[in-house]
């Protein structure tokens, strides 16, 4: 195949139920366009039939380019692996493998790129997830926006089209705890939003556990704002202020109003409150130390087990 102009990148983890739908929609899309398109599918260590299905497909249809990771690395790293493997010379179109992000929007996004944008990110107008998740997302994006030093657009996930040069920069960013939607904003260049309605997943259940979602949110907050640490410093200042005022009040009482027995409850309250504050402060420092620790190991971000490119099987780590 000639070098593709556009790579569609989709990470898959236990998506064997949605897989046939995904392939059908992508094939139809590619057939209807004259652009040279490759699809980069990343198997994130699935335990079901996903890898087998991918393999069968990629060996027969050269437009599908598959990367198989050695184990489950999580969505952000699977996506990172896909971006690194993609060969599209003009643009990379990032979608979820569960068809929550309609691939048919590709021409619209590409059109925006032609207008001179480097990043076209999708903005979710409506979500079809349950109310708890929706509220969580809603609050998280607003919190992140208010504290982040990067202008991360509201309600935009990883669904986006990025130019080759933005992908090249992303591929050069070695950070271990990845929050791609933040990194994408951090890179800069001309960016614009594209509103769409997020559908429900076509089959199966969400592969993101609550723990993974929290980790993603944590990565957003700790990697794209200084808020936790500056909040801690401020909280420390405030508590010193309170202690000073309290000290002055007690002193004045003692000097001017004879002897006052201070309440035991107040003492207990202060101890509990400030030991809580201290624990939280330690936890926040721990979070930063942990990030330094992980990054300092300098491990590769993901391990590729094998790839199928242009219908041919390669095993990069098996030589
Ligand atoms: N995914 C992945 N690795 C994981 C979890 C999820 O590659 O550890 C993929 C998943 O197959 C899907 C995409 O990431 O294509 C988004 O995941 P999901 O739909 O579960 O997340 P949600 O849409 O519920 O936030
Ligand atoms: Mg989904």
Asked if residue 319 belongs to a domain, the reply is no
Q: Do residues 169 and 97 make contact, with C-beta atoms less than 8 angstroms apart?
A: no
292 and 162 inside one domain: no
H or E, element range at 143: helix 131-147
In a domain, 1, yes or no: no
Quick one: 184 and 243 in the same domain? no
Cβ atoms of 118 and 189 within 8 Å: the answer is: yes
Per the prediction, the chain carries an average pLDDT of 89
The answer to whether the beta carbons of residues 200 and 133 sit under 8 Å apart is no
Q: Indicate if 124 and 89 belong to the same structural domain.
A: yes
Measure 196 CA to ligand 2 centroid, in angstroms.
15
My answer on whether 207 and 240 are in the same domain is: no
pLDDT for residue 293: 87
Is 98 contained in some domain?
yes
How distant is the alpha carbon of residue 87 from its chain centre?
22
Report CA(297)–ligand 2 centroid distance (Å).
31
The rounded percent of the chain whose pLDDT value lies above 70 is 97
Q: What is the DSSP string of 203-248?
A: SS-----HHHHHHHHHHHHHHH-SHHHHHHHHHHHHHHHHHHHHHH
Higher pLDDT, 133 or 158: 158
Residues 17-52 pLDDT 10s: 999 999 999 999 999 999 999 999 999 999 999 999
pLDDT grade, residue 262 (50/70/90)? Answer: low
| Within a domain: 243 | yes
Q: Is 263 helix (H, G, I), strand (E, B) or coil?
A: coil
Residues 28 and 100 both lie in one domain: yes
Residues 215 and 235 in one domain: no
Supply φ then ψ for residue 188, to 5 degrees: 90, -140
Cα distances (angstroms) measured from residue 10 to each of 54, 110, 292 = 12, 17, 29
> Is residue 317 over pLDDT 70?
no
21 and 157 in one domain?
A: yes
| Cβ-Cβ contacts under 8 Å for 190 (sequence gap 6 or more) | 116, 117, 118, 119
Which one-letter DSSP state was computed for residue 299? -
Note if the pTM is more than 0.95. Answer: no
Give the domain CATH number at 54. 3.90.550.10
ipTM here: 0.94
- Ramachandran assignment for 74, one of left (phi > 0), alpha (psi -120 to 50 degrees), beta (any other): left
Cα–Cα dist 90/173, whole Å = 20
8 A C-beta contact, residue 69 and residue 78: yes
pLDDT at 26: 96
Residues by chain with Cβ below 5 Å of ion ligand 2:
96, 98, 100, 201
In a domain, residue 10? The reply is: yes
Can you say how many angstroms the Cα of residue 46 is from the centroid of all Cα atoms in its chain? Answer: 19
Pair 125, 261 in one domain: no
Q: What is the pLDDT of residues 56-86, one digit of tens each?
A: 999 999 999 999 999 999 999 999 999 999 9
For position 25, what pLDDT does the model report? 95
Looking at the fold, whether 76 and 187 belong to one and the same domain comes out as yes
For residue 59, tell me if it sits in a domain. yes
Which range of residues forms the domain containing residue 179? 6-224+301-314
CA of 264 to the centre of ligand 1 (A): 52
Q: Which atom of ligand 1 is nearest to the CA of 96?
A: 15
Ligand 1 atom at minimum distance from 129 CA: 24
Neighbours of 270 (CB within 10 A): 14
Whether residues 145 and 255 share a domain: the answer is no
Per the structure, the count of domains in the chain is 2
Does 152 share its domain with 217? yes
Do 147 and 276 belong to one domain? Answer: no
């Amino acid at each position: 195949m000639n070098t593709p102009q556009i790579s569609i990148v989709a990470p898959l983890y236990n998506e064997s139920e949605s897989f046939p739908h995904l392939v059908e929609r992508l094939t139809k899309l590619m057939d209807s366009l004259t652009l040279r398109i490759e699809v980069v599918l990343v198997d994130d260590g699935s335990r079901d039939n996903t890898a087998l299905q991918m393999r069968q497909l990629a060996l027969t249809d050269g437009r599908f380019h598959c990367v198989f990771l050695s184990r489950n690395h999580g969505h952000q790293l699977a996506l990172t692996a896909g971006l690194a493997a993609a060969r599209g010379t003009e643009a990379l179109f990032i979608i979820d493998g569960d068809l929550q992000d309609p691939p048919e929007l590709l021409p619209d996004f590409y059109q925006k790129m032609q207008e001179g944008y480097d990043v076209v990110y999708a903005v979710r107008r409506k979500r079809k997830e349950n109310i708890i998740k929706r509220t969580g997302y809603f609050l998280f994006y607003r919190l992140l926006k208010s504290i982040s030093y990067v202008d991360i657009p509201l309600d935009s996930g990883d669904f986006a089209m990025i130019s080759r040069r933005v992908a090249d920069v992303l591929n050069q960013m070695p950070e271990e705890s990845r929050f791609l939607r933040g990194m994408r904003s951090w890179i800069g260049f001309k960016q614009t939003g594209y509103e769409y309605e997020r559908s429900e997943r076509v089959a199966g259940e969400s592969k993101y556990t609550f723990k993974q979602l929290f980790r993603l949110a944590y990565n957003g907050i700790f990697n794209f704002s200084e808020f936790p640490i500056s909040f801690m410093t401020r909280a420390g200042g405030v508590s010193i202020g309170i202690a000073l005022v309290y000290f002055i009040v007690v002193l004045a009482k003692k000097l001017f109003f004879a002897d006052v027995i201070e309440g035991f409850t107040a003492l207990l309250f202060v101890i509990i409150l400030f030991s809580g504050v201290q624990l939280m402060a330690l936890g926040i420092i721990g979070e930063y130390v942990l990030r330094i620790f992980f990054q300092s190991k300098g491990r590769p971000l993901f391990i590729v087990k094998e790839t199928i490119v242009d219908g041919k099987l390669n095993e990069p780590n098996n030589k």
